[in-house]
């Protein structure tokens, strides 16, 4: 941009300056990639095209003009009721529509929570590595992010306690703890029940909040469903973000926050009147209320096959090295700790030449780190390409050592 093109920069708000020039979010699949393992894009073959067409017809016949005008401030009540149904169906958790506010996807829902509770300079805790999209949003809110590690049981609660005690000593309260409890993005572990209890107890002890991000919880291939942090909370400490992006389609852009009822006005203040997309909310609701269980069961089979195919391809090439490859119980992603001596700059070029897209581990660390890790998304490509691309990525890794 020329100087004339950028004359407005001196007029930017403080919050806009915080994020100026940084990444802006996930890009669409690239046309030049042979194996698109970069972004967590849902499988387009899994989208219920005919079902959504029929749902639109039925919805318009039943609701007509009501679907085409402004909606309820908290979002279409039918969708909030659908979210309640989802929680009861998959988790046995009973919640009220009055505890739910609809947002423009889960990323927007997370942003509402950050806007409600974080000022620039405030202190918060995040597990690391953490979802890169959340880190993009957080940077625009300007908090001090204290990272804590994760292991095979998820967020390390002993490290959370150390950070909270640090905040107490400094006299700077921790406002919020951010965590992904199921199939953590990018590293993959599911937070153990022991850690969930410990984290909720810490939030109460240190007078802070937890933001529980759960975009993938229904897409479980192995293991058993565990109670959410929200379900374990008895002191109104947990805010939970949910979405239809992974079980219906990312393009519908519908998510929500589930929170204690007294908090809901704090989020509502950052939304325009008329609710979030009343029309699409109705279409999604009309389809999912009749097809949710069957559709999700189909998706579980689809994504499990992709995960297994990618792992098979990777291990066929990388067995015998000291590589570490996650096997998540669900979700979209595989996390790889590269073998000793891997030249990551060379790996990037080799992957470009092989047309394999991946995401460098550094994208998932707010304060530096992750140079020896990469993330692969198995969600977009069919199983045969997950297998072939896994082998291709394995060969690139070997050649980069």
CATH of domain 49-291: 3.40.640.10
Separation of CA 74 from chain center: 22
Token couple for 299: 């998706």
| Residue ranges of the chain with per-residue pLDDT less than 70 | 1-6, 19-31
Spatial separation of the C-alpha atoms in residues 54 and 92, rounded to whole Å = 29
Strand pairing partners for 333?
Answer: 377
Q: What value, to the nearest 5°, has the Cα angle with vertex 10 and ends 5 and 12?
A: 95
DSSP state of 29: P
SS3 233: coil
Spatial separation of the C-alpha atoms in residues 79 and 64, rounded to whole Å = 17
Assign residue 319 a region: left if phi > 0, alpha if psi is -120 to 50, beta otherwise?
Answer: beta
Domain 34-47+296-399 has CATH 3.40.190.10: no
What pLDDT does 1 receive? 46
C-beta neighbour count of 381 within 10 angstroms: 25
CB-count exposure of residue 218 (10 Å: 0-12, 13-18, 19+)? buried
Spatial separation of the C-alpha atoms in residues 144 and 367, rounded to whole Å = 10
Separation of CA 35 from chain center: 22
Spatial separation of the C-alpha atoms in residues 215 and 304, rounded to whole Å = 16
**Mind listing the pLDDT tens digit for each residue in 140-158?**
899 999 999 999 999 999 9
**Mind listing the pLDDT tens digit for each residue in 5-32?**
667 888 888 777 776 666 555 555 666 7
Report whether 77 contacts 279 (CB < 8 A). no
Spatial separation of the C-alpha atoms in residues 292 and 302, rounded to whole Å = 15
Token couple for 191: 């937070």
SS3 180: strand
Report whether 257 contacts 210 (CB < 8 A). no
Helices 278-318 and 383-399 meet at what angle, rounded to 10?
Answer: 50
What pLDDT does 5 receive? 63
From residue 297, alpha-carbon distances to 28, 294, 360 in Å are 26, 5, 31
Spatial separation of the C-alpha atoms in residues 67 and 59, rounded to whole Å = 8
Q: What value, to the nearest 5°, has the Cα angle with vertex 105 and ends 267 and 231?
A: 65
Spatial separation of the C-alpha atoms in residues 123 and 347, rounded to whole Å = 36
What pLDDT does 361 receive? 97
Question: Residue ranges of the domains in the chain?
Answer: 34-47+296-399, 49-291
What pLDDT does 26 receive? 54
Which stretches does DSSP call E strand in 113-159? 123-128, 144-151, 154-155
Spatial separation of the C-alpha atoms in residues 94 and 327, rounded to whole Å = 31
What pLDDT does 163 receive? 98
């Amino acid at each position: 941009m020329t100087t004339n093109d950028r004359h407005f920069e001196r007029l930017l708000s403080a919050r806009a300056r915080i994020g100026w020039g940084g990444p802006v979010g996930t890009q669409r699949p690239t046309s030049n990639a042979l194996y698109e393992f970069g972004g967590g894009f849902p499988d387009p073959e899994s989208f219920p095209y005919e079902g959504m067409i029929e749902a639109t017809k039925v919805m318009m016949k039943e609701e007509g003009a009501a679907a085409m005008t402004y909606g309820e401030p908290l979002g279409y009540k039918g969708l909030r009721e659908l979210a309640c149904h989802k929680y009861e169906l998959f988790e046995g958790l009973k919640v009220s529509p009055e505890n739910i506010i609809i947002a423009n996807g889960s990323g927007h829902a997370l942003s509402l929570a950050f806007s409600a509770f974080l000022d620039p300079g405030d202190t918060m805790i995040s597990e690391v590595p953490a979802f890169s999209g959340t880190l993009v949003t957080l940077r625009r809110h300007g908090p001090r992010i204290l990272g804590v590690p994760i292991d095979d049981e998820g967020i390390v609660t002993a490290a959370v306690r150390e950070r909270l005690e640090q905040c107490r000593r400094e006299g700077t309260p921790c406002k919020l703890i951010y965590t992904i409890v199921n199939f953590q993005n990018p590293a993959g572990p599911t937070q153990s029940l022991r850690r969930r209890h410990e984290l909720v107890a810490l939030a109460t002890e240190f007078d802070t909040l937890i933001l529980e991000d759960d975009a993938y919880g229904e897409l479980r291939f192995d293991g058993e469903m565990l109670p959410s942090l929200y379900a374990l909370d008895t002191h109104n400490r947990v805010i939970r973000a949910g979405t239809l992006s992974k079980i219906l389609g990312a393009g519908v852009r519908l998510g929500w926050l589930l929170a204690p009822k007294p908090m809901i006005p704090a989020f509502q203040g950052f939304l325009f009147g008329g609710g979030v997309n009343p029309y699409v909310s109705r279409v999604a609701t009309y389809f999912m209320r009749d097809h949710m269980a069957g559709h999700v069961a189909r998706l579980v089979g689809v994504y499990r096959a992709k995960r297994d195919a990618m792992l098979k391809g990777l291990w066929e090439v990388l067995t015998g090295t000291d590589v570490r490859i996650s096997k998540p119980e669900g979700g979209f992603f595989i996390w790889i700790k590269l073998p000793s001596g891997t030249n990551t700059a060379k790996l990037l070029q080799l992957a470009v030449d092989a047309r394999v897209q991946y995401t460098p581990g550094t994208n998932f660390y707010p304060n530096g780190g992750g140079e020896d890790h990469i993330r692969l998304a198995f969600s977009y490509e069919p199983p045969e390409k997950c297998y072939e691309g896994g082998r291709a990525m394995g060969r690139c890794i070997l050649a980069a050592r």
